[in-house]
Structure 1
Amino acid sequence: MKDDVVGAVVLLLFIFHNLMNGRWYKVILKGSHHLRRKLQIAINLLFLVTMAVHVGFSWFMIINSVRRKTGISGTSRIRTIGLRILAVLIVAYGVHASFKREMGSKLFIYNPFGNWFKDHSTVVFLIDYLSIMGIYICGTHYALKFIQKQETRAGQTI
């Protein structure tokens, strides 16, 4: 329970921090950028991916916690389909945002500054990067489900 509250507070603080410091995103390209700065950007993006994979590992626990807090006890086919459609839309937009934000070239330090500022909206920036995280969260969650299903099948055939 404490972990859930702390996690929610950290997420809200993260969003608030980025909204309050939106001006920083607009001026990051001004000035000189040395190898240290390029490496820092690449490492930050790798941490973004790592954090999303971590959330993906914990996704089942997060969903169960939300179910407990909201009083949802049973399963609903309609809710499951709706949430899966939402997940597909988030991942699809995440793929689009990944290309729009040139994530590949930034992660491999080919062009770490890429096109950071085609839009000047902090909200769009956050939506883009949260949806990019959605790719890794969903990918990790469903990869774990697949592995668990394979292990269960292997255990049943022995």
Structure 2
Amino acid sequence: MKPLFFLRLILDFLAAGFLLAALAYDWLGNAVHEIIGTGMFLLLISHNIFNRRWYGMITKGWREPRSFITKMINLPLLVTMLSLLVTSVIISQTVFSFLPLTSTFTVRQIHALTAYLALLIAAIHLGLHWSMIMDVVRGRFGITTKSRLRTFVLRTAAIVIAACGVRSLFVVNIGPKLFMQTSLEFWDFQKAMLAFFLHHTAIIGLGVFLAHYGLRLIRDLRHRAA
């Protein structure tokens, strides 16, 4: 594996970590939240530069299931991230406060909506590339042989994480957030900081699980039909 590719993978996971951390607004405070968000967007810019060839393939491969699904996830993710960036700049109180822009309650609601949309779509995006990530992990640890026990343990863990992800959707009350419903609730980070990140990580795991095994199901169905 080329060192540059491994570096790209690390930067991508770092960007995902920044997105997860930025959701903990009440814990971080506005200034840290904006700094982390700015770092995330810088990493996303590098991600798009590294993967710039993908944009030249947008009009191609729509009839191939995997390519179609990838585009149907990546394009909404791109729009969501751009919306998140625009609203971030508008409501900024620290990093971009020098700009003559006026923040409104609606823009802040849209910002929160796009943040959680980005979390969900990015999780699915990650799942679409999970096989490649697992190949990288196996290569780094020198795993060259198959193991039924290892496969069983990993799949069991995936099912457990996905189940926790379903529960976490309700724990973090993600439904109202996606419909921009006003809520007076807030997460008590003094008592449950770790729980916050575990629940959101489980939601990411759920997205990865659905995308990864959904692709495998489609592939198996195509092979059976061939």
TM-score, normalization by structure 1: 0.81
Structure 2: segments with no counterpart, 5+ residues = 31-103
Out of 23, 36, 43, the position equivalent to 2:114 is 43
CA drift at 1:63: 0.6
CA drift at 1:9: 3.8
Aligned length: 150
Residue pair 2:20, 2:119 contacting (<8 A) in 1 also: no
Structure 1: segments with no counterpart, 5+ residues = none
Name the CA distance, whole Å, in 2 between partners of 1:10 and 1:4.
10
State the match for 2:123 in structure 1: 52
Matched, 1:90 2:161: yes
Q: Which has the higher contact order (CA 8 A, sep 6+)?
A: 1
Out of 145, 150, 158, the position equivalent to 2:221 is 150
Supply the RMSD in Å over aligned alpha carbons: 2.7
Aligned residue type for 2:143: I
State the match for 2:196 in structure 1: 125
C-alpha offsets along residues 52-103 of structure 1, whole Å, 9 cap, x if unaligned?
Answer: 1110110111111111111101111111111111111111211121101001
CA drift at 1:122: 3.7
C-alpha offsets along residues 26-54 of structure 1, whole Å, 9 cap, x if unaligned?
Answer: 367xxxx7111111101111111111111
State the match for 2:48 in structure 1: none
Name the CA distance, whole Å, in 2 between partners of 1:64 and 1:23.
32
Cα 1:114–1:74, aligned 2, differ >3 Å: closer, same or farther? farther
Name the CA distance, whole Å, in 1 between partners of 2:17 and 2:211.
23
